Structure 1
Amino acid sequence: MQSHAPFPFKFELFGQHYHYHYLFETLAFIVGIRVYYYLKKGIVDPISDENRLWILLGAMLGALIGSRVVAVLETPEVVHHLTFAVLYQSKTIIGGLLVGLFGVELVKKMIGVTIASGDIYVIPILVALFIGRIGCFSMGIDEPTYGIPTSSFLGMDLGDGLMRHPIMLYEMVFLIALFLLFRALKNKNLINGDRFKLFMLLYFLFRFLIEFLKPYQSLFLNLSSIHWSAIFIFIYYYKFIIRIFKRVFT
């Protein structure tokens, strides 16, 4: 079907055309790091700068591995003829957050850090995610984050002539809502680590639900690797979920 949509957005450099997505990915990383250091100036961090660097290293290595593995599992048939190029090009933030979490926990055990370390990363992650999603949206159907066709007024032509759910716009609105929520919680007396746990649960819940609006492939029991990643997080944080429910309903 012919499309008159401007997607994907590209720029020309030395005669070659490139997606703006690559620029936004780089910008997301740079701005996220700067926001982290800005917020860190205003607190007394019980974790030393050296240990923070080790924790960040664990997070980045875990994210590097997890983002690729979970992304590859989004298309299970690729596993049988996997190449380095496919592995390198495949990535999803869900896998990055999931395995990055365990990378952090592993490093903390190795260096002897026993206190929660994630709260300070929530706002930088939200900012970086938002910037990165602008890049994803600019790619239209060239990025496998588009939605299924819809007759809803929210539908957009993302480059193939079909009116689809603009999943990235939905997520950007959700990220703004999360940002406002955590800004409102800034001065609340919460247990150390609860902000990060709440972020993980809310973001993974959103991704679990929004996945049904995407043309996903089943990994197991008609659920994708994104679904199963979210379920794993729900199980991992089950004590926190029970505690929150008891606090709300008692």
Structure 2
Amino acid sequence: MTLKMSGFNIHIVFDLLAASLSLVGTYLAYTWRLRAANAMALGKLSTGYGIALVTGAAVGGYGLGSANLILSEIPMVGRSIVGALAGATLAIEIYKRFRGIVGSTGVIFVIGFTTTVAVGRIGCLLSGLEDQTHGIPTGASWGWDFGDGILRHPVQLYESTAMAVFLVGAVIALAVRSPFFLKNGFYLMVGFYAAQRFIWEFLKPYTSIAGPLNLFHFVCLSLIAYAIYMILRSKDART
């Protein structure tokens, strides 16, 4: 499959579309289920919380994104979704610790983040090689030609599909008012995103730093460990 168009313009279009759908999805989830089900947790959100969230996402997204490209001998500024997720999560956990906030406050972001990835990754796919998110060459029939005649794994599409599946599951969980999901939805999302991203990283041309593992592999492993720990801690808190 071949597609040639302005990578920058198409990326902007999908970034805006992803942001818009994310805001709509977050609002609908809040008014439909979360306002009543998680009033106490959502009441802990504040200006300081928002500043920590945005700052952590920016530092993690651009910091880890750029670091990964530099390690891969691509001297340019990059931004990373998994880096932004890791940075925002760390910043919020630090903020919560200093403010004495206990329990999950992130379930409101589940629909928005999942939608952002599912839609935004299509923009990455259509942006071509310049986006630096393509996969390694493949002989598979579904390989994607980014414009240079070489078929590569469309890892962006793999990630978009995986998160679309999680989005469907999240909506179903909200529809049935799953107590477990309402309490641990954010941790489930973090763990699922990191696990599927860990797999796709093996299909990317980034430079490894330990065996077959690149920088993002270790970020994903850290997020998976975090998600498991928080879910288990939440379970222990009930006993």
User: Which of these residues, 181, 196, 200, is aligned with residue 206 of structure 1?
Assistant: 196
Cα shift at 1:169: 1.3
Q: 1:193 to 1:47 in 2, by over 3 A?
A: closer
Q: Could you give the per-residue CA deviations for residues 144-194 of structure 1, whole angstroms, max 9, x where no partner exists?
A: 111111111111211110111111111121111111111222222216541
Q: 1:160 to 1:221 in 2, by over 3 A?
A: same
User: Which of these residues, 166, 175, 180, is aligned with residue 190 of structure 1?
Assistant: 180
**8 Å contact from structure 2 (residues 44, 101) kept in 1:** no
Cα shift at 1:97: 0.2
- RMSD (Å) for aligned C-alpha atoms: 2.7
CA distance in 2, matches of 1:240, 1:51: 19
Cα shift at 1:19: 2.5
Q: TM-score, normalised by structure 1?
A: 0.81
User: Which of these residues, 190, 198, 206, is aligned with residue 216 of structure 1?
Assistant: 206
What residue in structure 2 maps to residue 167 of structure 1?
155
Q: TM-score, normalised by structure 2?
A: 0.84
Within a 5 Å distance, the mapping from 1:40-55 to structure 2 comes to 40-42=30-32, 43-44=35-36, 45-47=39-41, 51-55=45-49
SS in 1 for 2:135: coil
- Identity fraction in percent: 25
CA distance in 2, matches of 1:108, 1:240: 14
Which consecutive residues of structure 1, in runs of 5 or more, have no partner in the other structure? 12-17, 245-250
Which consecutive residues of structure 2, in runs of 5 or more, have no partner in the other structure? 235-239
**8 Å contact from structure 1 (residues 63, 97) kept in 2:** yes
CA distance in 2, matches of 1:107, 1:97: 15
Matched, 1:179 2:175: no
CA distance in 2, matches of 1:191, 1:178: 12
CA distance in 2, matches of 1:111, 1:73: 31
Q: 1:140 to 1:111 in 2, by over 3 A?
A: same
CA distance in 1, matches of 2:232, 2:44: 34
CA distance in 1, matches of 2:42, 2:112: 19
Matched, 1:32 2:22: yes
Cα shift at 1:240: 5.0
What residue in structure 2 maps to residue 15 of structure 1?
none
CA distance in 2, matches of 1:191, 1:78: 38
User: Which of these residues, 141, 155, 166, is aligned with residue 153 of structure 1?
Assistant: 141
Matched, 1:73 2:67: yes
Larger Rg: 1
SS in 2 for 1:152: coil
More deviation in 59-68 or 41-50?
Answer: 41-50
Within a 5 Å distance, the mapping from 1:97-176 to structure 2 comes to 97-176=85-164
**8 Å contact from structure 2 (residues 71, 207) kept in 1:** no
**8 Å contact from structure 2 (residues 64, 83) kept in 1:** yes
What residue in structure 2 maps to residue 226 of structure 1?
216
CA distance in 2, matches of 1:242, 1:129: 26
Q: 1:225 to 1:185 in 2, by over 3 A?
A: same
Greater helix percent: which structure?
2
CA distance in 2, matches of 1:184, 1:238: 22
**How many residues are treated as equivalent by the alignment?**
228
